[in-house]
A and B are shown apart, each in its own frame.
Chain A
Amino acid sequence: MRNIWLIAKREYLERVRTRAFLISTLLIPLLMGGGIVVSVMGTSKTKSTSRITIVSRDQLLAVDLQKELEHSKGSEMTVDVISPGNSTTRATLDSMLADRQIDGYLWITPGAQPNERPAFSYTPRSAGDIATKATITTALRTVLMREQLAHDGMVANEVDSLMQPVKVDTTQAGKNADTTSSFVAIYVLFFLMYMVILLYGMNVARSIIEEKTSRVFEILLATITPEEMMAGKVIGVGSVGLTQVAVWLLTAILLTSGSWLQAVAGQSAHISLSAAQIVYFVVFFLLGYLLYSSIAAALGAMVNSEQELQQLNMFLVMPLAGCMFALGPVISNPSSPVSRVISLIPFCTPLIMYLRISLAPPPAWEIGLSIFLMVVTIYGILWCASRIYRVGILMYGKRPNLSEIMRWLKYS
């Protein structure tokens, strides 16, 4: 154990102390935070503050629309009404557009018949201002509908209450958690695992290759076993990734939970998770990470250079991508035999079992069994990796083919 700890500690400190680590750890949250700030500012910007002019012979409709655009939830525009327009109006408005005094004008031509809808034509200053056009369209629809309802004899209050948006609550049997947040957590877990494995799993492989090319292993193997070395590497290099991810996640949580964000975004941007879900999230994330790092270690043990490693990259990503296909069936029926079997396959367990726990908690023994199987698999992969490593470097120093690997596993 002491040796594993020593190896892990060295790997960890050597990596964490580098400038590259510091920069990437700080830079990503900065970019992330910057991105959020920009997009938040962007959303408030699309809550259009444009200045437009409405030209209409029907003054009632124009004023209604003006009110809707100036005071409704979706927009805070400045609207002028010209009613009715005369022959020079269009030319005046066009020159105002050119002078940037207004952002656009809406020309309403009444229908030829009394019951016919008027025609609307919006002339924006820049063709790219889609947001304003969308806001106007929505507002128009509301106004026209309200007008029609009022025309049919409905009182204003009734009209407003009828036009309230509908809210549907989802409740899970036995608890009040919002299932959408479970899905969000699943996707967060999936992409977190995917990203972390891609970014850091390969670091484990690389660090093993580095030891081979520098021939440091000759000294190390004089006192420690290849198993200890592999385990130490996976833990040490792995912790570096975890440290970084922890920093990022914390930043993300701080950023998204900040009340300012909700104040600005105005929507429920938070994710609610139960304590048990968080614990399972951490457990399955760690186990999944360890499992895939072990595979990376085995790949590193097989090859002698980074180029060769590139070719084997897919073995790391493929099982994970396979899980993606299983997501659908499991989500639609989390307790079916197929879902249960898939969730017990160690390579899929971290994602699928977590998904099942979030959707419809499986019996405790299944969770226990899945964790046990994962631990055994991790141990098995590390054992094979250290075999391949030792036999490979001490005896041949070349990349083995599959039959050789099988033979090497039997060597002592």
Chain B
Amino acid sequence: MAIVQLQNVSKAYDTKVAVDDLSFEIAPGSMFGLLGPNGSGKTSSIRMMIGMTLPDTGLVSLFGQPFDRKSVYRVGYLPEERGLYKKMKVIDQLIFLGQLHGLDAVTASKRAHGWCEKMEITEAIPKKTEELSKGMQQKIQFIAALLHEPELIIMDEPFSGLDPVNAALLQNTLLDLNRQGRTVLFSTHRMDQVEKLCDTICLIHRGRKVLAGEMQEIKARYPKNRVEMVFEGDPGFLNHPVVESAKNYNGMAEIRLREGGDAQLLLADAVSKARITRFEVMEPTLEEIFIETVGDRVDA
């Protein structure tokens, strides 16, 4: 049973097509990345998953059933555009949002305190929201999405605006939750941020799916044709026949191999001419894959 299933979903606003015949599935317990540039239809897709809008055509299923309002209590959602009641105290706010997700006030309060401790913002509990820093407010929203212990956690651009320490804190929390069996959906245009986190991805562009599947499998589909190396000595080996192009930044080189070119041959040649401190065959990044794929589509 898929936690989320979109079948041929389309959504247009007036003349603009936001989502175009999109289909994908999210398996239980996965870390799913919904990736694409700005305006590619990520948020529109998410809104249809939780019933904020309905698809023009196609079918959305949640937890193995066609969408039903009752299932929204099993979903935790962190929207991209963050907003909290400015004049409300943090704890009242969390209790209110917890209650909206079906909790009673006592449970909501207890869990809110627990989460604030975990997120290292206990000092914010009695304060009004407007007194908090942006990062803190973001953590509050993060907590609000998790208070009711949802089975499906949807995070729209969760790390934007956070410093590296706090981003890591959020990442680790999400990884913990995932280990406990929760399904997590990331939506972001910063592909480098979720590359390590996601096990499954769906890349969309202009409302259409361009690439989907397990991360490892997708990456395996693309050749490892990039080499990064650090060396001392004669850079003559950079003219080796397997090299298609190379950039040399004073002993630090970025090399692109010809199709079918063997990195081992290059390494052997390099060792004979220079001292090698580092030699790494790089995996293609999601961004490269995306650009390559979308570029292909555009050419086609």
Contact at B50–A222, with CB atoms within 8 Å?
yes
Contact at A219–B77, with CB atoms within 8 Å?
yes
Contact at A222–B52, with CB atoms within 8 Å?
yes
A282 at the interface (CB under 8 A from B): no
Query: Would you give the shortest CB distance from A217 to chain B, in whole angstroms?
Result: 7
Contact at B96–A223, with CB atoms within 8 Å?
no
Check A216/B47 contact, CB under 8 A, given A222-B52, A222-B72: no
B278 at the interface (CB under 8 A from A): no
Contact at A14–B88, with CB atoms within 8 Å?
yes
Contact at B83–A218, with CB atoms within 8 Å?
yes
Contact indicator per residue, chain B 59-99, by CB within 8 Å of chain A (1) or not (0): 00000000001001101010111111111100000001101
Please give, as numbers and ranges, the residues of chain A lying within 8 Å of B220 by CB-CB distance: none
Please give, as numbers and ranges, the residues of chain B lying within 8 Å of A171 by CB-CB distance: none
Write the chain A residue with the least CB distance to B16: A395
Please give, as numbers and ranges, the residues of chain A lying within 8 Å of B77 by CB-CB distance: 219, 222
Check A3/B100 contact, CB under 8 A, given A216-B85, A218-B79, A395-B13: yes
Please give, as numbers and ranges, the residues of chain A lying within 8 Å of B85 by CB-CB distance: 14, 214, 216
Check A223/B72 contact, CB under 8 A, given A6-B99, A10-B96, A395-B13: yes
Instruction: Please indicate which of the listed interface residues A215, A216, A225 has the most CB atoms of chain B within 10 Å of its own CB.
Output: A216
B293 at the interface (CB under 8 A from A): no
A32 at the interface (CB under 8 A from B): no
Please give, as numbers and ranges, the residues of chain A lying within 8 Å of B141 by CB-CB distance: 219
Write the chain A residue with the least CB distance to B96: A10
Contact at A220–B87, with CB atoms within 8 Å?
no
Contact at A223–B83, with CB atoms within 8 Å?
no
Write the chain B residue with the least CB distance to A15: B87
Contact at A394–B52, with CB atoms within 8 Å?
yes
Select one of B52, B73, B82 contacting A215, CB under 8 A: B82
Contact at B87–A14, with CB atoms within 8 Å?
yes
Measured CA separation A225–B47 after assembly (Å): 13
Instruction: Please indicate which of the listed interface residues B80, B99, B100, B144 has the most CB atoms of chain A within 10 Å of its own CB.
Output: B100
Please tell me the number of chain A residues within 8 Å of chain B, measured between CB atoms: 21
A412 at the interface (CB under 8 A from B): yes
Query: Would you give the shortest CB distance from A333 to chain B, in whole angstroms?
Result: 51
Check A216/B83 contact, CB under 8 A, given A10-B96, A224-B100, A225-B69: yes
Measured CA separation A6–B141 after assembly (Å): 19
Contact at A223–B73, with CB atoms within 8 Å?
yes
Contact at A221–B100, with CB atoms within 8 Å?
no
A396 at the interface (CB under 8 A from B): yes
B274 at the interface (CB under 8 A from A): no
Query: Would you give the shortest CB distance from B81 to chain A, in whole angstroms?
Result: 4
A residues 377-407 with Cβ under 8 Å of B?
A: 390, 394-396
Please give, as numbers and ranges, the residues of chain A lying within 8 Å of B52 by CB-CB distance: 221-222, 390, 394
Extra pairs beyond A223-B72, A225-B69 (18, CB < 8 Å): A6-B96, A6-B99, A6-B100, A14-B87, A14-B88, A214-B86, A216-B85, A219-B77, A219-B83, A219-B97, A219-B145, A222-B77, A223-B73, A224-B100, A390-B52, A394-B53, A395-B53, A396-B13
Which residues in B have some Cβ–Cβ distance to A below 8 Å? 13, 47, 50, 52-54, 69, 72-73, 75, 77, 79-88, 96-97, 99-101, 141, 144-145
Which residues in A have some Cβ–Cβ distance to B below 8 Å? 3, 6, 10, 14, 214-225, 390, 394-396, 412
13 A-B residue pairings within 8 Å (CB atoms): A6-B96, A6-B100, A214-B85, A216-B83, A216-B84, A217-B83, A218-B83, A219-B77, A219-B141, A223-B100, A224-B100, A390-B52, A394-B52
Nearest first, the 3 closest Cβ-Cβ pairs linking A and B are A215-B83, A218-B79, A222-B77
